Amino acid sequence: MALAAPLTEIVSGIAGVGTNIRASGEYDPFKELAKLAEALAPAQAKVQEESGDQHAKLGDYPAAVEAYQKALVPYRHLGDRAKVMTILGNIGRLQVRQGQHDEAMANYNEALNFARDIGDVEAEGHLHQEIGRSYRLRKKYEP
């Protein structure tokens, strides 16, 4: 699995934190937990994203949306705007499939803002297509 290398790096980093604590003689459990959470955030986001992908492939759209929403939290915390944009687009697509067009529009528009911010014109075009598809499915031909 693609996560093996990042998880190995995280585990090594966690072991290093313990070594540094013993060497310095200082220990603040809250600081150490914060460091641990920070170290685990990328892996947590990736696991949730992949879970969303799998649920979507199986047609379990509510579970996929839930997993994607869980992935958003660490991606936002990490400042990964491209990943946030992608996840919001995925959520919107699944919401359209469930007939939740208003919710999808909110996610598409937020994703569109990220696409513009990072200069991803391909994603911007794709998101416009998805927005148009939602309007077409609702037979709403005027915004």
pLDDT digits (tens, 9 = 90+) for 83-117: 999 999 999 999 999 999 999 999 999 999 999 99
Return mean pLDDT, the chain. 85
pTM value? 0.75
pLDDT at position 108 is: 97
How buried is residue 18: exposed, middle or buried, by Cβ count under 10 Å (0-12/13-18/19+)? exposed
pLDDT at position 16 is: 52
**H-helix or E-strand spanning residue 100:** none
